[in-house]
Amino acid sequence: MNISAQNDKIIEAYSIDGRPLHRTLLKPGLKQKFEENLRVARQTYESNPEDVDAIIWLGRRMGYLMRCNEAIDIYSKGLELHPDNYKLLRHRGHRHLSIRKFNAALADFTAAARLIQGVPDEIEPDGMPNAAGTPVSTNHFNIWYHLGLTQYLMGDYPAALDSYASCLDFCPNDDSIIALANWQYNTLLKMGRNDDAMAVLDPITEHMTVVDDPGYYHLLLHYRGLREERDILDLEGGGNLESVTIAYGIANRYFCNGDRETAVRTFQRILACEIWSAFGYIAAEADLYRMKN
């Protein structure tokens, strides 16, 4: 998602090293659309404030407007009514990640993973549909995927790898296979297991069907030597979700292969972008913080 070069100076969160993260302004047309979606979600919620789906969608619509703390409050109120609802925990955990409250995110996703055990899997509806209008992830996938990501951001790479192994059982399409493989690859590199990291790429081909986020796919093909860095790395114009995703993967590979200088330079370029809720941005922030501390 491209966002404007301005912000409205509302501090929504703080980075890991204490920098204020301002609520970013969406492009006018997109903001209008998201606000209308929020209005509808609020009406639905107010007509039935105990309904889990109504609570979830109100929180999601808040989150898409970068009103992360309000989204967390909505999910928390929902959990007072439905304390064992894994869907509410999954979504609250995501917004805890957005505002760098990793311990809270870890608790949410861990509880969600426990509560969803034995529950039949189902597709999770997309809040921001892809061009094909086809949701690509499931409830089980999203819980294990985000749990692994939280552990990765906290530097607990063995735990992250275990969560990703559980996630493998819930990959219904190429998009989910690709997204998971990206973070497995990053995690194994961090652990110095380069041969195992390359083995993760074995199922990745140039003939996969990607309908959601092509950034991870371009990265995996780059790792396999099928894409040049100069053709996929572009952080000009403030960056967007795809470019930050790609930049982090490239920087992490440089770092794990011993080129700290290039890695740090790329991490810093990522942090000069505005899309601070992107997982690649948060990961760059976490890696730089660990280097300095």
User: Would the CA dihedral through 223, 227, 228, 234 be positive or negative?
Assistant: negative
Alpha helix locations (H) across 48-173?
Answer: 52-64, 68-81, 86-98, 102-115, 139-153, 157-167
Q: Confirm whether 3 is domain-assigned.
A: no
Q: Confirm whether 76 is domain-assigned.
A: yes
Give the pLDDT band of residue 2 (cuts 50, 70, 90): very low
Query: For residue 45, what pLDDT is reported?
Result: 99
Tens digit of each residue's pLDDT (9 = 90 or more) over 39-95? 999 999 999 999 999 999 999 999 999 999 999 999 999 999 999 999 999 999 999
Query: For residue 74, what pLDDT is reported?
Result: 99
Q: Parallel, antiparallel, or unpaired: how do β-strands 20-26 and 3-14 relate?
A: antiparallel
Tens digit of each residue's pLDDT (9 = 90 or more) over 127-149? 887 877 788 999 999 999 999 99
**Mean pLDDT taken over the chain:** 95
Mean pLDDT of 115-121: 98
Q: Confirm whether 37 is domain-assigned.
A: yes
pLDDT at 186 over 90: yes
Show the domain range for 78: 27-120
Q: Confirm whether 87 is domain-assigned.
A: yes
CA distance 89 to 242: 26
CATH number, position 64: 1.25.40.10
Q: Confirm whether 203 is domain-assigned.
A: no
Mean pLDDT of 254-272: 98
Better-predicted residue by pLDDT, 200 or 293: 200
Query: For residue 26, what pLDDT is reported?
Result: 82
Query: For residue 7, what pLDDT is reported?
Result: 44
For residue 221 the two structure tokens come to 């093909």
Give the pLDDT band of residue 242 (cuts 50, 70, 90): very high
Least confident of 34-48, 68-82, 160-174, 229-243: 229-243
Write down the pTM of the prediction: 0.95
Number of domains making up the chain: 1
Mean pLDDT of 160-175: 97
Give CA angle at 117 (57, 159), nearest 5°.
95
pLDDT at 6 over 90: no
Q: Which residues pair with 286 in a beta bridge?
A: none
For residue 112, what is the DSSP state? H
Give CA angle at 261 (260, 262), nearest 5°.
95
Mean pLDDT of 106-127: 97
Give CA angle at 182 (59, 263), nearest 5°.
100
Q: Confirm whether 40 is domain-assigned.
A: yes
CA distance 157 to 208: 28
243 phi and psi, to 5 degrees? -70, -35
Residue 280 and residue 245 in contact, taking contact as beta carbons nearer than 8 Å: yes
Mean pLDDT of 199-204: 97
Q: Confirm whether 45 is domain-assigned.
A: yes
